[in-house]
Homo-oligomer: A and B are copies of this chain.
Amino acid sequence: MTGYRVAVVGATGAVGREVLEILAARRFPTARLRALASPRSAGTRVGDLVVEAVAPAAFDDIDIAIFDTPDDVAETWVPVAAARGALVIDNSAAFRMTPDVPLVIPEVNPAALRRVPRRIIANPNCTVATITVPLAPLHRAAGLRRLIACSYQSVSGAGQAGVTQLWAELRDAVDTGVAPTQARGTAFRQPIAMNVIPAVGSFRGAHTSEEVKMAAELRKMLDAPEVAFGVTCVRVPTLRAHGVAVHAEFSTPLDPAHARALLGAAPGVDVVDDPAAARYPTPLAASGGDPCHVGRIRTDGAGMLAFFAVADNLRKGAALNTVQIAEAVVRDGVLLGARAT
C-alpha cells in the first residue's frame, strides 16, 4: 500500500492525541507514524505508539510533520523539520503571518497550497477558523467589508490546564453550593466556573493576542486586507467548542435567505437554524463533530447580516483541519508525490 511517513509533534497533548485519532478514523494513508514530544514524555505511550523525544534526526525520512506545540517550540523545531525534508503543518501561531507560509483552511483557500516555498503550512487559530468557514462563501458572493465578532470560547482552548481548572472549580461549587470565590488552577487568574472572562490570551496594549490573531488571520485567509474587524474574545465555562456571534456587512447587500442558501451549499458548514424548534448551534451539540454549525441567521437591527457559529476547537479549530490540509496535499500530489513510499 502506498502511504506517507507521518510524524505528530506534541503527540501527548490534547490536540496531538486528537490528530492521531483523526488520522486513524479518516484512514489517512500512513506508511509509518511517529509520535514526538518533549524529552520528558519520551518512552510513554500514546495509543499503540511509543513517544520519541523530538530531535533533528527524528525528521529524516518523514514526509509530513504535523506540529501542535507552543509557539516557542514551533519556532525552534518547525524549521528543523522542514530543512530535513518534511512538509510541516503547524498549528502554532509562530508562522501564521509569515508571508511565505500559507495559512489554510481547505474549504476556504485551497489554492494557497500551490505555493509552499518554505515547506511550512500554517493552521489557523481555532476561533477564527469557526467564523472563516462560514464567512468565506458569503465573502465570495458579496464582499465582506466590516465585521463585529464576539466569542464564547471553551476552556480547552487554554489546554488541559483550562479543563482541569474548570472541573476543580465546579467540584468545589457543587460541594459548597456556592459559586467559586477564587481560581483553583493555573490557566485563568479569575475563577472560570460560573463566570466569564473577557480576556483570552495575553494583552497587546488594549487588545488581547487572540483578538489580534483573529483579525490578522481572517484577513490573510480571505485575502481581504481591507476588512474592518472589531472583535471581543471571551472565555466561558464550556469544555469544548467555541461559539462566535457575528455581525457582518457586505459590499453587496446579502439577505438572510441568500446567506442561508450559500451556507447550506458550503463545505464544512451545517446550517442549524430552526428557532421555533429550539434548533440553534450550541457548543455541546458541535463537540466531537467535524462541521461548523451556523444558525440564528438574520438581518440585525443595524442592517448587518448576523449569525451564531460554533465549531469544535480541538477538531475544526485544530486537529481536524491539520489532517484535512494533509489530505489536500496528498490529493494534489505535487508537494509530496516523489516521496510516497
- Within 8 Å by CB of A228, from B147, B174, B229, B303, lies B303
What B residues does A231 contact at CB under 8 A? 300-301
- Give bound CA distance, A314 to B256, whole Å: 35
What B residues does A284 contact at CB under 8 A? 179-181, 190-191, 194-195
Question: What are the interface flags for A256-283 relative to B under an 8 Å C-beta threshold, 1 for contact and 0 otherwise?
Answer: 1000000000000000000110101111
A253 interface hit (Cβ, 8 Å)? no
What B residues does A67 contact at CB under 8 A? none
A152 interface hit (Cβ, 8 Å)? yes
A58 interface hit (Cβ, 8 Å)? no
- Within 8 Å by CB of A304, from B148, B152, B207, B303, lies B148
Chain B: minimal CB distance from A146 (Å):
6
What B residues does A300 contact at CB under 8 A? 148, 229-232
Chain B: minimal CB distance from A251 (Å):
15
What B residues does A234 contact at CB under 8 A? 152, 243, 245, 308
Q: Which A221-265 residues sit within 8 Å CB-CB of chain B?
A: 228-232, 234, 236-240, 243, 245, 247, 256
A316 interface hit (Cβ, 8 Å)? no
Interface of A is mostly: mixed
In the complex, identify which listed stretch (A2-10, A103-111, A197-205) lies at the interface while the others stay far away.
A197-205
What B residues does A280 contact at CB under 8 A? 197-199
A296 interface hit (Cβ, 8 Å)? yes
Report whether B150 and A150 are in contact in the complex, using a CB–CB cutoff of 8 Å.
yes
A206 interface hit (Cβ, 8 Å)? yes
What B residues does A238 contact at CB under 8 A? 179, 194-196, 237
What B residues does A297 contact at CB under 8 A? 206
Report whether A282 and B243 are in contact in the complex, using a CB–CB cutoff of 8 Å.
no
